[in-house]
Amino acid sequence: MKKKLVVFSGAGISAESGLRTFRDSDGLWEEYNVMDVATPEAWQKDMALVLEFYNKRRVQILEANPNPAHHAVKLLEEKYDVTVITQNIDDLHERAGSSHVVHLHGNIRFARSTNPSDADRLYPIKGNHLNPGDKCPEGFQLRPHVVWFGEEVPLLPVAQKIVERADYLIISGTSLTVYPAANLIYAANYKCKKYLVDPGSIHVTDIENLSFIKEKASLGLPKLAEMLLKEEVING
């Protein structure tokens, strides 16, 4: 039986494919006020502006391609039972071939209904745009399938259970400052081998069995994948 390996990925991985992050100095929040485009209140106030913001993001995502970090994660499926838990709303992990991806904050390639009783059903968005007047079969306006500020993260309990069962946990592309998702690292068993791949200085001092790889994702993840594939062959 394959050992369970979980990859917890954040915006840093997508940034290496050319997708601007929200929190960088040149990020998208420099052009938009977060309260105007990424909250339930913003949707109620100016639906067209919110849709425009996510339409622009969708265009950027469709023009981007998976990078070596995404492909390294896919490669790990050769020897491990891999689940990707991502904070990203792009589909680059899927386009790289990853089989099991949990999107904590949604997937911009999908829409969901504003009908509360149908909020869990997803509708693929054809093309780049979701527009005012685009409705579900029941006649309710469709909204981007993203978790806005102030909304609950419905898949967080699912992700926590996945991490609890992991034999290996890889964290990359995240500053571990976006809560509640950042708490997932604490759900891992103390015996779980943990790897933090990041070129910066992330201060995590109370996690057992944690190794640091001070590389950006596109360099560090391929190296780590190569090491783990060899380790599984040796120990398998």
User: Annotated catalytic residue: which of 105, 129, 145, 203?
Assistant: 105
Instruction: Identify any residues that bridge with 7 across adjacent strands, giving them in sequence order.
Output: 84, 170
Say how many C-beta atoms besides its own lie within 10 A of residue 99's C-beta.
12
Cα torsion 163, 104, 19, 193 to 10°: value is 0
Strand 106-113 with 122-124, pairing: antiparallel
CA atoms within 13 A on the CB side of 228: 31
Q: Residue 54 in contact with residue 130, Cβ under 8 Å?
A: yes
**Helix, strand, coil percentages, rounded to 5, for the chain:** 40, 20, 40
Active site residue 105: yes
Q: Catalytic residue positions?
A: 105
